[in-house]
Structure 1
Amino acid sequence: MTLTINSEIYSQLLSKYQPRIIQTEPENEEFLKIVEELLARQNLTTEENTILDLLVKLIEDFEDKHYQLNKSTPCSRMLHLMEAQDIKKESLVQVFGFLEVVDKVINGELEITSQQAQELGNLFHVDSSLFLNE
């Protein structure tokens, strides 16, 4: 079954969202917000689904190029999440006990323990395995 796209409606959506090759992090964030908005809706039209697919592909291409997760470390993932969620290092004292320990973890002088990884997972709302060496 082939779905037919109404070109007039699709053109309006293209004009509204203006999808393009993503060059910067702010552009990526902009398109991520649009994707979230579309995903929150129920019963998307064929045209909206087509735009959603296009935006997801553009985001994936940008992130594949700029985020090499296989080269990341538990510390770099923690720092990325801190930046993305606007969490200051002082907020990590609840996980590590002391600001000096937070600094040592950030500087790579100390590894994150499994208990700390669990607490970081809860804090950032992600899987705790992100904070453990494989």
Structure 2
Amino acid sequence: MTTYFNTTIYSQLLVFQPKAIATEAESDRTLEAVEKLMACKQRTPEQTAILQLLVILVEEFENKHYPIEPASPHAILKHLMEARGIKQSDLIGIIGSKGVVSEVVNEKRAISKEQAKALGEFFYVSPALFI
């Protein structure tokens, strides 16, 4: 089934006149338009085209103004420990002695590949998170 794309309807939908987003206010207005279009149960091809364009503009703005920095292996370890109520003493014997565990948790020592593997098994996550 071929869907017909009506350029006249598309032009009428461009009342919003999308452009690169430069401010929070513009971002908010664009997000409102995205939400309205997403709420349409039977979205037309023209509405879908506008929605895709607006999403790209929002993503570009957010990536520029709110970049997500990858977490360090040590930050991931600390997060998992906190989230699961794990203390340093719980890692003794899993990744090393009391001193080694302290150095790893306090970022004074890098996490080795063996320790990453052990932490992955202990937390049931990929060891790659700790490398």
Could you say what secondary structure the match of 1:8 adopts?
helix
1:6 and 2:22 aligned: no
> When the two structures are aligned, how many residues end up with a matched partner?
79
Instruction: Map Cα deviations across residues 28-49 of structure 1 (whole Å, 9 max, x no partner).
Output: 1111111111111101001000
Distance between the aligned counterparts of 1:23 and 1:3, measured in 2?
A: 34
Following superposition of structure 1 onto structure 2, how do residues 1-134 of structure 1 map, counting pairs within 5 Å?
3-15=3-15, 17-70=16-69, 113-114=82-83
Q: Which amino acid aligns with 2:83?
A: S
Please report the TM-score for the alignment, with normalisation by the length of structure 2: 0.51
Instruction: Map Cα deviations across residues 4-51 of structure 1 (whole Å, 9 max, x no partner).
Output: 321110000012x11111011110111111111111110100100000
Unaligned runs of 5+ in 2: 72-78, 85-129
Distance between the aligned counterparts of 1:5 and 1:37, measured in 2?
A: 20
Distance between the aligned counterparts of 1:37 and 1:22, measured in 2?
A: 18
Distance 1:36 1:2, change over 3 A: same
Could you say what secondary structure the match of 2:69 adopts?
helix
Moved over 2 A (4+): 1-4
CA RMSD of aligned residues (A): 2.7
Q: CA deviation at 1:69?
A: 1.7
Identity of aligned residues (%): 45
Unaligned runs of 5+ in 1: 73-110, 116-133
Distance between the aligned counterparts of 2:14 and 2:2, measured in 1?
A: 21
Instruction: Map Cα deviations across residues 46-95 of structure 1 (whole Å, 9 max, x no partner).
Output: 100000000001101111111112169xxxxxxxxxxxxxxxxxxxxxxx
Q: CA deviation at 1:2?
A: 5.7
Distance between the aligned counterparts of 2:46 and 2:12, measured in 1?
A: 10
Please report the TM-score for the alignment, with normalisation by the length of structure 1: 0.50
Distance between the aligned counterparts of 1:71 and 1:25, measured in 2?
A: 24
Looking at CA atoms only, which structure, 1 or 2, has the larger radius of gyration? 2
Q: CA deviation at 1:3?
A: 3.7
